[in-house]
Amino acid sequence: MRRTAEDAAATRVALLDAALAVIARDGYPATRLEEVAKHAGVTRGALYHHFSGKAELFDAAVAARWAEVAVEVFGDLDGTEPALRRLERFVAGYARRARSEPRFRELLTVVVLRTGSRPELAPGLREKQQATDLWLEALLPTLAEAEAAGELRAGLDARAAAGDVLTALYGVTVLCALPDGADTGLVDAGRLARTIVRGLGR
What pTM value is reported for the model?
Answer: 0.83
Q: Is the pLDDT reported for residue 47 higher than 90? A: yes
Taking the C-alpha atoms of residue 122 and residue 125, their distance in angstroms, rounded to an integer, is 5
pLDDT of residue 182: 62
pLDDT of residue 73: 92
The answer to whether 174 touches 163, Cβ cutoff 8 Å, is: no
Please enumerate in sequence order all residues whose Cβ is within 8 A of that of 131, keeping only pairs 6 or more positions apart, or say none.
Answer: 63, 66
pLDDT of residue 118: 57
Name the class of domain 54-200: mainly alpha
Which one has a higher pLDDT value, 1 or 118?
Answer: 118
The answer to whether 60 touches 16, Cβ cutoff 8 Å, is: yes
52 three-state secondary structure: coil
Q: Which amino acid is at 138?
A: A
Q: Which amino acid is at 114?
A: R
| Torsional sign, CA 90, 177, 172, 95 | positive
pLDDT of residue 131: 64
Q: Is the pLDDT reported for residue 51 higher than 90? A: yes
Boundaries of every domain in the chain: 54-200
152 three-state secondary structure: strand
pLDDT of residue 186: 72
Percent of the chain scored above 90 by pLDDT?
A: 63
